A = this chain, B = another copy of it.
């Protein structure tokens, strides 16, 4: 085995690299989860997470991966005989639909071509025919395509036309893109730990609106581990209902230190810049982006590669020690995805684009060698000019 085997760059859209500082924090000696120190830790994390969700409500923390928080949003928001709508823009919208189906919920599905965002007009027309739905499920950043759905506008459409709760999968977005749950009218906003929050997987999060709590309390659908009211009630007593993943909480505290030190606005600007640098590089070397400028997410970029080139480029990238992600479901083999979120900086993008030129050339895909990296650097230089 190569001495360099551990030296890979993880440029996938989650899990993201874990900073040394967070790893060190996770090494604190184990403590009892009912000790006063744990109460402080749980309470402080919940409070400090609020700006990332744009809410004045405490943020609930589940020991489970993001899918559990998606299911928690489903089983808490839709009553046993209730109907739901889900906007599917990719594999994670589809996961919401699967969770709804598995829970025997009558589901109205708005399918948008993968690679495009849902428009307010599409949603409006769809909901006009289905005013009875109790909740509408959205994906903010659709990780499988690199699309950022216009949640602010979509939430406004729901508010205007129905009484439904607005439920948003914020995985791959919260912490990397602005999310203003209170201001935008999001009722339940969830995310996971292994994306912009820079942690290993194992924690997930939910911010819940006052309006949603009323519905949740009246909802008799069976649930125990995923009962959000249990998390809220325990948090009021400064604890968690079930054993928390304490080492990940140690890491979360360090992640919040890092986020507060850089500042959320600066973090969002950094993510936007990484997106622009990635897109400029890909486009200028002659590869094709999956999404338009206006639909693009600041955290992940999908690149087209027909006739097997997506997978052969990804394989060459792996040999260069950079890990990219492939496509999912019907996009498998047709795209590759570059993650640029969390503990990732513009220089990582320079490295990735430079390697991409080498990898594409080695894979026999005709690109303009040097053109990509030049465009990437120009985006970076322009950004620092704008700063001065």
A residues near B (Cβ < 8 Å) are 6, 8, 10, 12, 14-18, 23, 26-35, 63-68, 71, 74, 98-99, 102-104, 192, 194, 200-202, 222-227, 241-248, 323, 325
Given contacts A242-B68, A243-B192, contact A104 B222 (CB under 8 A): yes
How far does the alpha carbon of A247 sit from the alpha carbon of B135 in the complex, in Å? 35
Residues of B within 8 A of A14 (CB): 243
Residues of B within 8 A of A202 (CB): 63, 202, 245, 247-248
Q: How far is the CB of A141 from chain B (nearest CB, A)?
A: 15
Residues of B within 8 A of A66 (CB): 242-243
Besides A15-B33, A71-B224, 8 more A-B contacts (Cβ < 8 Å) are A31-B323, A67-B242, A102-B223, A102-B224, A103-B222, A192-B243, A200-B247, A202-B245
13 example contacts (A-B, Cβ-Cβ < 8 A) are as follows A12-B32, A15-B246, A18-B247, A35-B323, A64-B225, A67-B243, A68-B225, A68-B242, A194-B246, A200-B245, A200-B246, A201-B246, A225-B226
Residues of B within 8 A of A242 (CB): 65-68
Q: How far is the CB of A23 from chain B (nearest CB, A)?
A: 5
Contact in complex: B15, A30 (CB < 8 Å): yes
Residues of B within 8 A of A99 (CB): 224
Given contacts A27-B23, A32-B10, A64-B64, contact A102 B245 (CB under 8 A): no
Q: How far is the CB of A317 from chain B (nearest CB, A)?
A: 12
How far does the alpha carbon of A82 sit from the alpha carbon of B17 in the complex, in Å? 46
Contact in complex: B102, A30 (CB < 8 Å): no
Q: How far is the CB of A132 from chain B (nearest CB, A)?
A: 21
Shortest beta-carbon contacts, A-B, top 4: A202-B245, A200-B247, A67-B242, A65-B243
Residues of B within 8 A of A102 (CB): 222-224, 227
Residues of B within 8 A of A226 (CB): 225
Q: Give A244's nearest chain B residue, CB to CB.
A: B201
Q: Give A230's nearest chain B residue, CB to CB.
A: B102
Residues of B within 8 A of A15 (CB): 30-33, 243, 246
How far does the alpha carbon of A281 sit from the alpha carbon of B349 in the complex, in Å? 62
Q: How far is the CB of A3 from chain B (nearest CB, A)?
A: 14
Q: Give A200's nearest chain B residue, CB to CB.
A: B247
Contact in complex: A67, B12 (CB < 8 Å): no
Contact in complex: B104, A201 (CB < 8 Å): no
Q: Give A15's nearest chain B residue, CB to CB.
A: B30
How far does the alpha carbon of A157 sit from the alpha carbon of B71 in the complex, in Å? 37
Q: How far is the CB of A241 from chain B (nearest CB, A)?
A: 8
Q: Give A222's nearest chain B residue, CB to CB.
A: B103
Q: Give A201's nearest chain B residue, CB to CB.
A: B243
How far does the alpha carbon of A325 sit from the alpha carbon of B10 in the complex, in Å? 41
Q: How far is the CB of A354 from chain B (nearest CB, A)?
A: 21
Given contacts A222-B104, A245-B245, contact A30 B200 (CB under 8 A): yes
Residues of B within 8 A of A33 (CB): 15, 201
Contact in complex: B201, A63 (CB < 8 Å): yes
Contact in complex: A67, B224 (CB < 8 Å): yes
Given contacts A17-B29, A201-B246, contact A224 B8 (CB under 8 A): no
Q: Give A20's nearest chain B residue, CB to CB.
A: B27
Q: Give A98's nearest chain B residue, CB to CB.
A: B224
